């Protein structure tokens, strides 16, 4: 029988190095466009499993990750959440609701691009704090693409800031994104206690994002001439009629029910969001009875397969101790002060989350945060290390599109619309916001605690 790569707590260095090497090759293949990101992730997952079963047959210490163990590292809650909400979006798209909303948004903001972008970012930030940020991106990015195209502005200019502020807004509350929920639950933080500690710095970082975006896109967003605005308004109005009102009504009813269940999940033994989303989608399919073949073709299976492959590759690093080794370096470098440890935790977590995705790193780093909190005299039982871990994981997720689930989902939605967002382009825009917000977060930790 295949054994875990870590037997009786011992980590095998060679397995950890090979797992890290596989991830590095996947990362390079994606970064330099050597392979499509989904092909690279699936090839990496295959390399992990084949190494385990073939090389591991001759050397048990190379059994990095068995198939059953690999499936346990796939966050099926995220997969089913994305799949369920994609089904909602696919059925909603049949009603032309996104173009109708784009027309209304355009009218409300008088066709002024900066006002439109500010409105979209504010809407994204608020909803990301109240709902899972992946759900928010799935619902808002299709609308945002329509608005950008109506303004003759490249969709990247609107979508990238929207994704970045979603990650920041999600850090404001306990339910906004997975790292917040993971750490908040670990320290038994109430919703109000979490909000009091993370809400203010999240707001500061969101304001900073507005400033950075204004500078970054000053040449990309220009007001259209009055004649062009009139033409755009006419074009939007011509194709903004709601179609299939009965489907829209049924979808709205089920969507409201689904969102209520998202909020009430704690009352029913913490129903996972993925269960809520896929249950709502199944109910909607049964009620609306759409063309299932057509609807399933609208689901972005490419993104879902990318997630699965990436989870397996990162799972190999976790199972062999590579991620834990990275996390424990914080303990050795932290020094003897709480502030020093907190700032280092923030930056190391951000760097790691930009590379290996923030969910698995957050889980691996929790024992390290416990150790720092208990062993640094200056902390005095303070939660500063946990807040630092959340800030690093959430803000660092903005540096690359591998950093968080909303980033990857947005890339998939853009690809469906015919716009391929490259790793380099996302990093170009996301890195500036990441660095500015990390500096602000570090100052906040020093001053506030």
pLDDT at 403: 83
What are the pLDDT digits (tens) for 136-161? 888 888 888 888 887 778 899 999 99
**In the prediction, which pLDDT does 202 show?**
94
For the four alpha carbons of 282, 284, 287 and 289, in that order, the dihedral sign comes to: negative
Question: Residue 230 has what pLDDT?
Answer: 60
Sketch the domain layout of the chain as residue ranges: 76-301
pTM for the structure as a whole = 0.73
Q: Which pLDDT score is estimated for 303?
A: 78
Q: What average pLDDT score do residues 9-37 get?
A: 81
Summarised one tens digit per residue, pLDDT across range 417-441 is 888 888 888 999 999 999 999 999 9
Query: Is a pLDDT exceeding 70 seen at residue 378?
Result: no
The better pLDDT of the pair 446, 331 is held by 446
Alpha carbons 347 and 391: distance in angstroms, whole number: 9
- Please give the C-alpha separations between residue 385 and each of 257, 339, 391, 394, in angstroms, as whole numbers: 38, 9, 10, 14
Half-sphere exposure of residue 251: CA atoms within 13 angstroms, side-chain side? 22
At residue 101, what are phi and psi to the nearest 5 degrees? Answer: -65, -40
pLDDT digit string (tens) for 385-417?
Answer: 899 999 999 999 899 888 888 898 899 889 888
In sequence order, what are the residues at sequence separation of 6 or more whose Cβ sits closer than 8 angstroms to the Cβ of residue 205?
A: 168, 171, 395, 437, 440, 441
Q: Report whether 197 contacts 383 (CB < 8 A).
A: yes
- Largest Cα–Cα separation, the chain: 73
Q: What is the structure's pLDDT at 283?
A: 95
Structure tokens at 164: 């970045």
Considering only CA atoms, which of 324, 338, 358, 330 is closest in space to residue 434?
358
pLDDT band at 381 (very low <50, low <70, confident <90, very high): very low
**Which carries the bigger pLDDT value, residue 177 or residue 172?**
172
Distance of alpha carbon 104 from alpha carbon 143, whole angstroms: 11
Q: Range with the lowest mean pLDDT among 230-244, 274-288, 294-308?
A: 230-244
């Amino acid at each position: 029988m295949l054994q875990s790569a870590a037997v009786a707590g011992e980590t095998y260095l060679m397995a950890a190095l090979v797992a890290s090497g596989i991830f590095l090759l996947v990362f390079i293949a994606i970064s330099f466009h050597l392979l499509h990101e989904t092909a690279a992730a699936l090839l990496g997952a295959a390399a992990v499993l084949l190494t385990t079963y073939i090389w591991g047959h001759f050397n048990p210490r190379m059994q990095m990750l068995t198939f059953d163990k690999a499936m346990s590292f796939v966050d099926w809650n995220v997969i089913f959440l994305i799949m369920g909400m994609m089904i909602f979006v696919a059925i909603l798209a049949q009603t032309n609701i996104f173009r109708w909303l784009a027309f209304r948004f355009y009218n409300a903001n008088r066709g002024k691009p900066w006002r439109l972008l500010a409105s979209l970012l504010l809407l994204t930030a608020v909803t990301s704090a109240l709902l899972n940020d992946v759900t928010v991106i799935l619902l808002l990015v299709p609308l945002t693409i329509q608005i950008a195209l109506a303004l003759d502005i490249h969709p990247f200019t609107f979508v990238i800031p929207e994704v970045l502020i979603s990650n920041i807004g999600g850090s404001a509350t306990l339910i906004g994104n997975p790292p917040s929920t993971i750490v908040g639950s670990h320290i038994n933080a109430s919703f109000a206690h979490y909000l009091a500690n993370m809400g203010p710095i999240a707001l500061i970082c969101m304001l900073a994002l507005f400033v950075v975006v204004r500078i970054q896109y000053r040449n990309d967003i220009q007001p259209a001439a009055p004649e062009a605005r009139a033409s755009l308004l006419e074009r939007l109005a011509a194709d903004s009629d709601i179609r299939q009102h009965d489907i829209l009504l049924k979808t709205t009813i089920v969507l409201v029910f689904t969102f209520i269940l998202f909020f009430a999940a704690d009352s029913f033994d913490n129903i996972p969001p993925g269960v809520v989303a896929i249950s709502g989608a199944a109910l909607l399919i049964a009620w609306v009875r759409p063309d299932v073949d057509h609807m399933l073709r609208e689901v972005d299976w490419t993104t879902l397969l990318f997630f699965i492959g990436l989870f397996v590759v990162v799972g190999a690093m976790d199972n062999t101790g590579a991620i834990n080794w990275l996390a424990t370096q914080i303990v050795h470098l932290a020094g003897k002060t709480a502030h020093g440890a907190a700032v280092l935790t923030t930056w190391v977590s951000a760097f790691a989350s930009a590379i290996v995705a923030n969910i698995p790193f957050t889980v691996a780093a929790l024992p390290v945060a416990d150790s720092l909190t208990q062993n640094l005299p200056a902390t005095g039982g303070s939660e500063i290390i946990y807040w630092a871990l959340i800030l690093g994981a959430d803000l660092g997720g903005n540096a690359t599109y591998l950093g968080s689930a909303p980033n990857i989902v947005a890339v998939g939605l853009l690809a469906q619309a015919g716009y391929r967002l490259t790793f380099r382009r996302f990093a170009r825009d996301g890195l500036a916001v990441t660095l500015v917000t990390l500096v602000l977060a570090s100052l906040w930790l020093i001053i506030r605690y």
